[in-house]
Structure 1
Amino acid sequence: MSTKRIVITGATGLIGRKLVAELRNDYELVIFSRDPARARSSLPGAADYVAWQPAEQGPWFAAINGAWGVVHLAGAPISSGLLGMRWTPEYKTEIRNSRVIGTRGIVNAMAAAQQRPAVFVCASAVGYYGFYRDNTPLDENSPPGRDFLAQVCVAWEAEAAKAEALGVRTVMLRTGLVLDPDSGALPQIMLPFKLLTGGPILPGTQVYPWIHPADEIGLIRFALENERVRGPLNAAAPGALANRDFAAVVGKVLGSPSWLPVPEFSLRIALGEMADLVVNGQNAVPRKALDLGYQFRFPTLEPALRDLLNIPR
């Protein structure tokens, strides 16, 4: 095992759990958690478990000093599936503050450290680019959107970028829809297909940038270990699909019809502003990852779903 120490926030989340499993045999891990005892129980094998919450300062500052890397994944959930909570004004504030203030505190700890990290990988999202209903390609140089989530991402990344001025190589990982059969959005996406009522969400032309968890973890490791990676990095498979084509592949893999459309107005009634997440999309292209030589394990959707669901051809 390397003596390099990596601090991870958000380690008990969907990506964090998988990242800990990937790195714990190769690095000394320090897990920041709101509940260190629960983190220790669910994620054994780390060198330390430190009490942390999104704040501009705290006693956890000391754990940043001497760390080789920091992977910052923590943030309030955007949704809990397609039938998740509505975005009340209070919850929108929590979404923003958990990211912006939490990241500010991590960077403040770096500034105070006598021995600063060499690399900082901070979560972000393809929501940075705003909402689209077409397949406009969006690479890391594309401008930000103006909607709520885009502006959250802009503010979030601005805090992370301050680490560069401290001499810390910084990567902002703009993640798309992470496919997981047990949590996140995929179980909600699959449910109507299992009930034989699946189909596209209108207008159907919006592109959902998705990624297999193996490639999400692969890109985080790539960002940690490849010194050429810095700045924004799109974490989305190169084989993004329009929603109608996405639905067709899900139907094919599950052996289910995929023609029954879901009208936008019904989602607006059910979800309010959060409906923007599913009636719009972003064709986030992983241009930087491909240019730097990252090899996607699952570049196209059907093999990715069959692997995740253990459904052979």
Structure 2
Amino acid sequence: MKIAIAGGTGFVGKKLTDYLLEQSHEVLILTRNAAKTSDHPRLHFVEWFKANSAPEIELQEVDAVINLAGESLNSGRWSEARKRRILESRVTATKEIVRILSSLPKKPKVLLNASAVGIYGTSESETFTEETTQIGNDFLANTVSAWEQKANEASHLGVRTCFLRLGVVLGAGGGALTRMVLPYQFFIGGTIGSGKQWLSWIHIDDVVKGIDFLLQHETVSGPVNFTAPNPVRMKEFGQTAGSVLHRPHWLPVPGFALQLLLGEMSILVLEGQNVLPKKLVENGFSFTFDTVEKALTDIFER
């Protein structure tokens, strides 16, 4: 397949690109840096968001588009300016992708657009699947909702569209995990906040496998939860991380301290949601890492 990726140089994007190339696909990465080149014969960089750039010219005959673009939620305290950048980076990139799709005489078969489980809002008692219609009322939920609404315009062009509602992606060398386990590296790890908040997580290898699965399964569309089938409460995650790292789990981190330190961004660790990957499971997807112990053991002992 000929596959275009926006956000192909990020944490998930790099892993996905390597996997797709190993599977003999041709990959075109949308980039603002026109100087980027590749020695790989099936990896190409396509300029976008630059004056006079016309990425649609090079995306003719593309079979699939994967949109992972957007400023990281973990990039710093959520000031009003940063929240605007988080929202605008996602919506603007998706708007440009829809424009590109609309200009192509031959449409790709599918758009896989990144999203997040944050759309459901937070709860310690509810369980969320793709059949859940409620949307939260916090900043993250509103951002994801606007993001998905813009991506859904591709479906009106006749392009099968999937929203990849990602949980916390666990993997080496990036994402939130490094910060989450840092206290354990210094022997001061412990329960964060109440410890009762849910963590809906997924190993990065299963994210990549899941994307490949959706490329092949043409009957799946709409929201798809990218979370492992066994979410855990934060206390259990911490205990498991301590066990895998051979570090104690003893020093609790009060919620109010994180609120003072992170402000509104503290919602990422102090609140959560129990999200199940019903659509992936019902369509036959098999998770390599279905428990957090398996995932963390693989990451830290690989």
Counterpart AA for 1:297: T
Aligned to 1:236: 227
**Which one of the candidate residues 155, 160, 170 is aligned to 1:164?**
155
Q: Shift in Å at residue 63 of structure 1?
A: 2.9
Aligned to 2:199: 208
1:19 aligned residue (12, 16, 20) = 16
SS in 2 for 1:123: strand
Match of 1:49 in 2: 45
Q: Distance in 2 between matches of 1:189 and 1:167?
A: 41
Please list, as runs of the form range in 1=range in 2, the aligned pairs for 1:240-279 lying within 5 A after superposition.
240-279=231-270
- Offset of 1:90 from its aligned partner? 1.2
Pair 1:99 & 2:96 matched:
no
- With over 3 angstroms needed to count, the CA separation of the structure-2 counterparts of 1:199 and 1:292, relative to structure 1, is same
Q: Deviations over 1:216-270 (max 9, x none)?
A: 0011111111112110000010111000111110111111111321111100111
SS at match of 1:299: coil
| 1:52 counterpart letter in structure 2 | W
Candidates 71, 90, 101, aligned match of 2:66: 71
Number of aligned residues: 300
Matched with 1:6 is 3
| Residue pair 2:32, 2:50 contacting (<8 A) in 1 also | no
The 5 A counterparts of 1:131-170 are 131-132=122-123, 134-142=124-132, 143-170=134-161
Gaps of 5+ in 2: none
Residue 28 of structure 1: which of 3, 22, 26 is its match? 26
Measured after TM superposition, the shift of residue 45 of structure 1 is 4.4
Aligned to 1:126: 117
How many Å separate the matches in 2 of 1:47 and 1:190?
34
TM-score (structure 2 length as normaliser): 0.95
Contact 2:207/2:226 (<8 A) preserved: yes
Q: In structure 1, what is the equivalent of residue 102 of structure 2? A: 111
Kept in 1: contact 2:47–2:53 (CA 8 A): no
SS of the residue corresponding to residue 267 of structure 2 reads helix
- Opposite residue 77 of structure 1, the aligned amino acid is S
- The 2-side partners of 1:108 and 1:270 are apart by 40
Are 2:163 and 2:223, in contact at CA under 8 Å, matched by a contact in 1? Answer: yes
SS at match of 1:163: helix
Letter in 1 for 2:44: D
Equivalent position SS for 1:153: helix
Shift of 1:44: 4.0
**Which 5+ residue runs of structure 1 have no aligned equivalent?**
none
SS in 2 for 1:233: strand
Q: Which amino acid aligns with 1:30?
A: L
Q: Equivalent pairs: percent with the same residue? A: 39
Runs of 4+ in 1 over 6 A off after TM superposition: none
Q: CA deviation at 1:48?
A: 2.2
Say whether the 8 Å CA contact 1:8–1:30 is kept in structure 2: yes
CA displacement 1:17-68 (0-9 Å, x = unmatched): 0111111142111110122434x35x8444421112399x951132333211
SS at match of 1:162: helix
**Residues in 1 aligned to 2:148 and 2:163: alpha-carbon distance in whole angstroms:** 7
Contact 1:54–1:103 (Cα < 8 Å) also in 2 = no
Contact 1:135 1:205 in 2 (8 A): no
The aligned counterpart of 1:220 is 211
Aligned mates of 2:172, 2:184 — CA distance in 1:
14
Give the corresponding residue for 1:309. 300
Does the 8 Å contact 1:6/1:69 carry over to 2? yes
**8 Å Cα contact 1:54-1:105 kept in structure 2:** no
Q: 269, 279, 296: which one pairs with 1:288?
A: 279
The two structures, once aligned, show a CA RMSD in angstroms of 1.7
**Contact 1:127–1:149 at 8 Å: present in 2 too?**
yes
Mapped partners of 1:160, 1:305: distance in 2: 33
